[in-house]
């Protein structure tokens, strides 16, 4: 009987330890991470105030919404605005007119529930890169009226790019969350996270935003990630966090300052055209491209003329388009010199300093206007592998449900699970790439 009792006691201890294992492991991981973080210190005096944007995501917090918005509007700070995302609230929001006579709040109403990941991604992409984003949930409020003023003193230190503050439990009033939730960061830092990390099987992921974005933010920030040892928020509803979703990309520390808007930088963009014994088709392509393609830096043509007849045809093309750089493959060993010629046209800094290149075949004809600068902007904004000018609604081989609207007239998709031309990443049929993404492949 005594032995049986001991067995029950041991089993009970085992179950108790098993039940608490996740909580204990999470606490150990958090403490280890906290040891690696750096503590931010308030700067005084502040020479330049930061611009803040409070982004609130609310989905089922009707009873706390007014308190949440009042908490944000009552911040004793001048340079801030609020974006409130309504993701399916069952509440009359007309009270905003009374609460917000100055018009600080931008109200975003999702017609269909999108979840926090897609909602926050789209809103933060629209923020200025130099704005400091402060994330709030619908069930959270600021701890006092001077939170933004305090954050301004921390972010006055240009070494601080992303920060984690303490969160007070609204029920027990216990403080926690330091080094776990990085809810304050430059919008420009966030914009360097690739769209791919927010997607799964052709759709935006579902779940908690922090589980997807935290790891990439910390990788991009590197030693510029800090903790702020003071309570910033009060949370009235405990969030059950899952383990972070592994990032599909590995990010090194950002080389430039996050407040610099790299998406707005003007880019040089080249086009490399491949032509094989088809001078007439090349002529037609160059003629159509000159008419419809804008913001082009330089044309390169890598061509093969198998005999004098074809070479005479290419000479006519050269006379009609003298600004194009022509690189001829040898008749004896065209396959051997193709790679060196391509290397020279694309990656030789003495030949071109453009950071983007589009590849095209001589059989293509440009039939509508193409703005290469807009395409490069879309690549920088999303981190997409390429911009495929030939693929669009004209092709019925790609279902609408797997297309993700990004900008006006521009849609994204994932290669996994796709067939035909939609599943070919490295197409040279009128496709734009960042050179850094395709070198040395």
Res 428: pLDDT: 95
Highest mean pLDDT among 6-10, 16-20, 410-414: 410-414
Res 239: pLDDT: 60
* In-domain check, residue 45: yes
- Cα-Cα end-to-end distance for the chain: 72
Res 60: pLDDT: 86
Q: Is the peptide bond before 45 cis (omega within 30 degrees of 0)?
A: yes
Distance CA 236, CA 276 (A): 68
Verify that 170 and 298 share a domain, yes or no.
no
Res 146: pLDDT: 98
Verify that 70 and 196 share a domain, yes or no.
yes
* In-domain check, residue 8: no
Verify that 360 and 412 share a domain, yes or no.
yes
User: From the centroid of its chain, how far is CA 154?
Assistant: 25
Give 214's contacts (C-beta < 8 A, 6+ positions apart).
Answer: 181, 182, 244
323-332: long-range contacts at Cβ-Cβ below 8 A with a sequence spacing of 24 or more? 323/299, 324/286, 324/299, 324/300, 325/298, 325/299, 325/300, 325/301, 325/351, 326/300, 326/301, 327/300, 327/301, 327/302, 327/303, 328/303, 328/304, 329/302, 329/303, 329/304, 331/305, 331/306, 331/307
* In-domain check, residue 413: yes
Judge contact between 189 and 217, C-beta under 8 A.
yes
* In-domain check, residue 19: no
The CATH number covering residue 339 comes to 3.90.550.10
* In-domain check, residue 3: no
Q: Token digits for 288?
A: 């159509």
Distance CA 157, CA 134 (A): 17
Q: Which comes out higher in pLDDT, residue 397 or 125? A: 125
* In-domain check, residue 17: no
Verify that 188 and 295 share a domain, yes or no.
no
Q: Please give the DSSP secondary-structure letter assigned to residue 137.
A: E
Quickly state the pLDDT bin for 36 (edges 50, 70, 90). Answer: low
Quickly state the pLDDT bin for 309 (edges 50, 70, 90). Answer: very high
| HSE-CB for 305 with a 13 A CA cutoff | 18
Verify that 41 and 170 share a domain, yes or no.
yes
* In-domain check, residue 14: no
Res 126: pLDDT: 96
| HSE-CB for 288 with a 13 A CA cutoff | 18
Res 15: pLDDT: 36
SS3 145: coil
A 10 A CB-CB count for 280 gives 11
Res 264: pLDDT: 83
- Residue 300 phi/psi, 5-degree rounding, is -125, 135
Quickly state the pLDDT bin for 14 (edges 50, 70, 90). Answer: very low
The closest alpha carbon to 183, from 102, 263, 239, 267, belongs to 239
β-partners of residue 231 are 166
Quick one: average pLDDT of 31-47? Answer: 72
Q: Token digits for 383?
A: 């981190």
Verify that 236 and 273 share a domain, yes or no.
no
Verify that 97 and 210 share a domain, yes or no.
yes
Q: Token digits for 214?
A: 């935290």
User: Which of residues 224, 257, 290 is at a domain's end?
Assistant: 257
Q: Note the pTM of the prediction, 2 decimals.
A: 0.85
Burial of 380 (0-12, 13-18, 19+ CB in 10 A): buried
Verify that 130 and 277 share a domain, yes or no.
no
Burial of 237 (0-12, 13-18, 19+ CB in 10 A): middle
pLDDT reading at 284 higher than 90: yes
Q: Please give the DSSP secondary-structure letter assigned to residue 374.
A: H
pLDDT reading at 73 higher than 60: yes
Q: Where are the beta strands (DSSP E) in 70-193?
A: 80-86, 105-109, 131-137, 140-142, 162-169, 175-176, 184-186
Verify that 172 and 220 share a domain, yes or no.
yes
User: Which of residues 228, 257, 286 is at a domain's end?
Assistant: 257
Verify that 145 and 58 share a domain, yes or no.
yes
Judge contact between 413 and 343, C-beta under 8 A.
no
Res 29: pLDDT: 46
Verify that 244 and 283 share a domain, yes or no.
no
pLDDT, tens digit, 9 for 90 and up, residues 76-89 = 999 999 999 999 99
Res 9: pLDDT: 36
Verify that 205 and 283 share a domain, yes or no.
no
Burial 125-136 (b: 16+ CB within 10 A, else e): bebebebbbbbb
User: Which of residues 257, 284, 300 is at a domain's end?
Assistant: 257
- Residue 84 phi/psi, 5-degree rounding, is -105, 120
pLDDT, tens digit, 9 for 90 and up, residues 175-225 = 888 888 899 999 999 999 999 999 998 899 998 999 999 999 999 999 999
* In-domain check, residue 56: yes
Structural domain including 280 reads 266-438
Q: Token digits for 118?
A: 């897609």
- Residue 20 phi/psi, 5-degree rounding, is -95, 5
Q: Of the ranges 35-39, 42-46, 302-306, which one carries the lowest mean pLDDT score? A: 35-39
Quickly state the pLDDT bin for 11 (edges 50, 70, 90). Answer: very low
Please count the structural domains in the chain: 2
Res 327: pLDDT: 97
């Amino acid at each position: 009987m005594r032995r049986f009792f001991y067995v029950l006691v041991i089993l009970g201890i085992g179950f108790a330890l098993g039940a608490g294992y996740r909580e204990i492991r999470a606490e150990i991981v958090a403490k280890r991470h906290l040891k690696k973080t750096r503590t931010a210190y308030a700067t005084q005096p502040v020479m330049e105030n930061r611009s803040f944007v409070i982004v609130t995501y609310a989905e089922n917090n009707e009873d706390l919404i007014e308190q949440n918005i009042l908490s944000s509007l009552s911040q004793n700070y001048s340079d801030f605005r609020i974006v409130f995302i309504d993701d399916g609230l069952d509440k009359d929001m007309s009270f905003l007119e009374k609460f917000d006579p100055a018009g600080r709040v931008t109200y975003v109403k999702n017609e269909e529930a999108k979840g926090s990941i897609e909602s926050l991604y789209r809103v933060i992409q629209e923020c200025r890169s130099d704005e400091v984003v402060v994330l709030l949930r619908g069930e959270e409020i600021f701890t006092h009226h001077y939170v933004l003023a305090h954050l301004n003193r921390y972010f006055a230190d240009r070494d601080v790019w992303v920060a984690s503050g303490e969160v007070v439990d609204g029920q027990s009033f216990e403080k926690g969350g330091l080094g776990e939730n990085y809810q304050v960061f430059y919008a420009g830092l966030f914009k360097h996270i690739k769209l791919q990390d927010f997607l799964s099987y052709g759709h935006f992921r579902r779940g908690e935003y922090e589980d997807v974005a935290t790891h990439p933010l910390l990788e991009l920030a590197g030693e510029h990630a800090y903790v702020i040892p003071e309570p910033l928020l009060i949370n009235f509803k405990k969030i059950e966090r899952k383990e972070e979703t592994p990032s599909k990309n590995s990010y090194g520390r950002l080389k430039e300052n996050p407040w610099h808007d790299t998406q707005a930088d003007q880019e040089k963009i080249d086009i490399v055209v491949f032509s094989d014994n088809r001078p007439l088709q090349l002529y037609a392509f160059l003629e159509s491209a000159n008419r419809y393609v804008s913001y082009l830096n330089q044309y390169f043509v890598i061509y093969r003329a198998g005999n004098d007849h074809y070479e005479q045809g290419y000479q006519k093309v050269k006379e009609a388009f003298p600004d194009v750089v022509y690189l001829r493959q040898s008749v004896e060993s065209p396959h051997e010199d193709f790679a060196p010629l391509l290397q020279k046209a694309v990656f030789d800094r003495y030949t071109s300093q453009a950071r983007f290149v589009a590849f095209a075949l001589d059989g293509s004809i440009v039939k509508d206007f193409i703005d290469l600068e807009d395409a490069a902007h879309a690549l920088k904004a999303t981190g997409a592998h390429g911009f495929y000018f030939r693929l669009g609604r004209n092709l019925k081989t790609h279902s609408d449900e797997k297309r993700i609207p990004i900008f006006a007239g521009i849609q994204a998709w994932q290669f996994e699970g796709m067939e035909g031309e939609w599943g070919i990443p490295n197409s040279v049929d009128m496709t734009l790439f960042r050179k850094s993404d395709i070198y040395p492949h």
